[in-house]
Amino acid sequence: MSSNLSHVAIIGGGLALHGIRSTIYEYRSEDDSGGVNITLAPNAARVLQHIGVLDELRTLGHTYELMTISAARNGQALGAFFNGTCVAPESKAQGIEIFFNKKLVAVENETDMGVRIRFEDGQVAEAEYVIAADGIHSLARSYIVQPELRYSGAMGIAITGVIKDSLHVSVKGKSLPTFCFGQTGMIAVSPSNPHGDEVDIFSTMPFPERSREEWKALAADGDAKQKIMVERFGSGWPLYISQVWQDEPSARFELYPSLNILRGATS
């Protein structure tokens, strides 16, 4: 294979390259806004600044200087510490083609000249290299290594984009983001838009292992997820947290099992 890269195919929209002609094949549609918000630490911000997207990200996210920790039992502040969506438009600005609604089904051929890949809609593409950025269940990665996916023992449940003013009045005066700890776990409440008038409410908790099919079934069962949150974070928790599980439609509860990737045998 040539040592001078001329074209790279990226499976999954989470990665783009500088200085190399590349094409992104993304499974989701262009207007898909699924997923949860993440907190960017200074080291991540420096990387985003290096690739030229940090300034735009600042206009899309919420900037905060202080994160608080409180007790669920009485709302007492336990402490605080200071904190030291634009991939698609930036990629287009750099001349990187993006094809949405592309589900990889096969890596058909690999030679010294490059790789041929096929998608569910019948499209075939060729590139010198293929980068597997298509998530934890990556099909592209499986052609290189057979990783073992092991359940971590914890899952997350979240409700995103909750209107802050719809929360119980007890949230007023709270410095957000905040982590609230109680006997049954932890709940985080974090602003999710630039103005801070929408919040994400989520928790990571121990939960028995499930098969992939069982996880899919639970993810689709809003009532079951709602019941988990009511039983775990209902009675005894601050009202701005406990009332959310009753006020928000069960269809808005999102599930995130936490999996670890263990390196397996190479293909």
Q: Residue-wise pLDDT tens for the chain (267 aa)?
A: 444 556 777 776 555 555 567 787 888 787 776 666 677 766 777 777 887 877 877 777 777 767 788 888 877 777 765 554 555 666 677 677 888 888 898 888 778 788 889 999 999 998 888 888 777 778 887 777 777 778 899 999 999 989 999 999 999 888 888 999 998 999 999 988 888 899 999 999 999 999 989 999 999 999 999 999 999 999 899 999 999 999 999 999 999 999 887 765 444
Q: Are residues 195 and 102 in the same domain?
A: no
Tell me, what's the pLDDT at 201? Answer: 94
Do 229 and 115 share a structural domain? no
**The predicted structure's pLDDT at residue 91:** 67
Structural domains in the chain (count): 2
Residues 10, 121, single domain; the answer is: yes
Question: Which helix (DSSP H) or strand (DSSP E) does residue 68 occupy?
Answer: strand 66-71
Tokens coding 148? 């073992």
**Residue 192 contacts residue 208 (beta carbons within 8 Å):** no
178 shares its domain with 234: yes
In a domain, 117, yes or no: yes
- Give me the CATH number covering residue 8: 3.50.50.60
Whether residues 139 and 244 share a domain: the answer is: no
Q: List the CATH number of the domain containing 230.
A: 3.30.9.30
Q: What is the pLDDT of residue 188?
A: 92
Is 165 found in the same domain as 98?
Answer: no
Residues 117 and 20 in one domain: yes
CA distance 177 to 163: 14
Residues 132 and 192 occupy one common structural domain: no
Q: Is 137 helix (H, G, I), strand (E, B) or coil?
A: coil
What was the pLDDT predicted at 65? 67
113 & 219 share domain: no
Phi-psi region of 135 (alpha: psi -120 to 50; beta: other; left: phi over 0): left
Question: Do 175 and 250 reside in the same domain of the chain?
Answer: yes
Closest listed residue to residue 247, CA positions, set 261, 260, 229: 229
- 99 and 188 fall within a common domain: no
* Burial (Cβ within 10 Å: 0-12, 13-18, ≥19) of residue 34: exposed
- 132 assigned to some structural domain: yes
The range of the structural domain enclosing residue 251 comes to: 150-259
The CB density around residue 94, as the number of other CB atoms within 10 Å, is 15
What CA–CA distance (Å, rounded) separates 61 from 54?
10
Strand order across the 198-206 sheet = 77-82, 66-71, 178-182, 185-191, 198-206, 145-163, 254-266
In which residue are the tokens 């509860």 written?
253
**Can you tell me the distance from the alpha carbon of 54 to that of 76, in angstroms, rounded to the nearest whole number?**
35
Q: Has residue 164 been placed in a domain? A: yes
Would you state the pLDDT for residue 127?
87
